[in-house]
């Protein structure tokens, strides 16, 4: 039985063992690791996404931490895979609550998935983006030539397709972020389902249909400091493309602090780096006399204003330190 353990807040170590009953050359086996977002034990191999392929005799691999089910199968040099997958589930709460900027869902818009589609289309039958077919029905002399079972999936299907999300996300500044993807995939041969078998059941080679266990989906994103146009974002040669299993940006809380004197008027404090949102500000004042007090105003993500007064409400000069704690630190 595989095991999984979080090693940092962004990574896990996934371990497995080659069964002692295996009599072949263990050095020739590779381990295929896939992932499902499900944490309830119902995940199945065809409905997972590919993560990594490594030598099976290494017995472990470091992977990105994503709540859900990690699965592993062994594959030999002939391409034969294990009949059953080993699984391990992890579901950890965030140790530090994140500041949610936006949730992007295009399956709930009307109509669904309004972005650019290359060789894919939205199927209301499966409520998902699916691969399109390469053939046009108008080019078929015989309607039964691949279209008798399904109009949508007649003929030869494309092996790959691409979907571009409709809108880009603008943070309004340069900040460190963490992008979390929630992805549900399903491997299916639409023309090999039980509803599309028209022959005697005794003649079927597989009651459930063929197993599409090579299905995969990769989510990629690009970043820019200059709010590029849509054409620039879709440039496939952009040097800013990052894959979900590559570099990641983690969003942590940021802090700013200093000591200073107020002067005998309103003192404007400007943070060295702007926060993403207005932070919480704490003041520690020195050489205060009885009746002295201060007023904070104009709080924003870039700074604040403070004025010290004596018991007669006259502005006075005092030494103080401040501490600002919030999310995000804007870059240059």
Q: Is residue 258 part of a domain?
A: yes
pLDDT over 60 (residue 21):
yes
Question: What per-residue confidence (pLDDT) applies to 252?
Answer: 44
- Mapped onto helix, strand or coil, the DSSP state of residue 27 is helix
Q: Is 68 in contact with 43 (CB distance < 8 Å)?
A: yes
Output 152 or 268, whichever has higher pLDDT. 268
Q: Is residue 42 part of a domain?
A: yes
Give the pLDDT of residue 167: 82
Burial of 160 (0-12, 13-18, 19+ CB in 10 A): exposed
Question: Does some domain include residue 69?
Answer: yes
> Is 330 within 8 Å of 271 (Cβ atoms)?
no
Q: Is residue 55 part of a domain?
A: yes
Which candidate, 278, 313, 276, 269, places its Cα nearest to that of 293? 313
What's the rounded mean pLDDT across residues 101-107? 83
| Residue 137: per-residue pLDDT | 53
How large is the average pLDDT for residues 205-220? 66
Closest CA to 148 of 112, 92, 100, 198: 198
Domain final residue, candidates 90, 124, 144? 90
Its pTM stands at 0.58
| pLDDT confidence of residue 16 | 94
**193 vs 190: CA distance, rounded Å:** 6
- Say yes or no to pLDDT of 259 above 90: no
Inside any domain, residue 117: no
Domain CATH for 86:
2.60.40.10
For residue 251, what pLDDT is reported?
38
Residues in Cβ contact with 46 at an 8 Å cutoff, skipping those fewer than 6 apart: 186, 187, 188, 211, 212, 213, 215
Classify residue 53: in a domain, yes or no: yes
**Which range in 10-14, 139-143, 238-242 is most confidently predicted, on average pLDDT?**
10-14
- Helical ranges in the chain per DSSP H: 230-233
Structural domain of 275:
253-327
Strands 220-222 and 293-297: unpaired
Is residue 232 over pLDDT 70? no
Is 227 within a domain? no
Q: What is the domain-level CATH number for residue 265?
A: 2.60.40.2080
Domain tally, the chain: 2
Q: How far apart are CA 331 and CA 251, in angstroms?
A: 13
Looking at residue 307, its pLDDT comes to 93
Q: What is the model's pLDDT at position 231?
A: 41
Burial of 144 (C-beta count, 10 Å sphere; 0-12/13-18/19+): exposed
Residue after which a domain boundary falls, among 90, 125, 146 = 90
| Residue 248 predicted with pLDDT over 60 | no
> Which of 55, 90, 125 is at the close of a domain?
90
Which has the minimum average pLDDT: 20-29, 222-231, 242-251?
242-251
Domain membership flag for residue 14: yes
């Amino acid at each position: 039985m595989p095991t999984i353990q979080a090693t940092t807040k962004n990574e896990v170590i996934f371990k497995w063992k080659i069964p002692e009953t295996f009599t072949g050359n263990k050095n020739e086996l590779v381990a295929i690791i896939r992932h499902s977002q499900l944490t309830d034990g119902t995940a199945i191999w065809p409905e997972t996404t590919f993560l990594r392929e490594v030598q099976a005799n290494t017995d472990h691999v470091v992977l990105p931490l994503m709540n859900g089910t990690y699965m592993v199968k062994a594959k030999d040099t002939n391409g034969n895979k294990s009949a059953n997958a080993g699984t391990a589930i992890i579901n950890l709460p965030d140790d530090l609550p994140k500041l949610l900027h936006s949730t992007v869902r295009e399956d709930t818009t009307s109509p669904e998935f309004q972005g650019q589609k290359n060789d894919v289309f939205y199927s209301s039958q499966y409520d998902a983006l699916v691969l399109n077919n390469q053939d046009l029905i108008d080019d078929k002399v015989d309607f039964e030539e691949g279209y008798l079972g399904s109009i949508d999936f007649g003929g030869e299907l494309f092996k790959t397709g691409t979907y571009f999300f409709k809108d880009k996300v603008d943070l309004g500044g340069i900040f460190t972020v963490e992008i979390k993807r929630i992805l549900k995939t399903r491997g299916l041969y639409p023309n090999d389902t039980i509803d599309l078998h028209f022959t005697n059941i005794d003649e079927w080679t597989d009651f459930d249909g063929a197993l599409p266990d090579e299905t995969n989906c990769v989510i990629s994103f690009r970043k820019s400091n200059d709010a590029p146009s849509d054409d620039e974002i879709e440039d496939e040669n952009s040097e800013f493309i990052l894959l979900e299993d590559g570099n990641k940006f983690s969003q942590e809380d940021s802090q700013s602090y200093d000591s200073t004197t107020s002067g005998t008027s309103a003192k404007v404090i400007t943070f060295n780096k702007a926060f993403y949102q207005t932070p919480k500000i704490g003041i520690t004042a020195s050489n205060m006399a009885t009746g002295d007090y201060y007023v904070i105003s104009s709080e924003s993500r870039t700074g604040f204003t403070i004025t010290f007064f004596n018991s007669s409400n006259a502005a006075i000069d005092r030494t103080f330190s401040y501490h600002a704690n919030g999310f995000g630190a804007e870059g240059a």
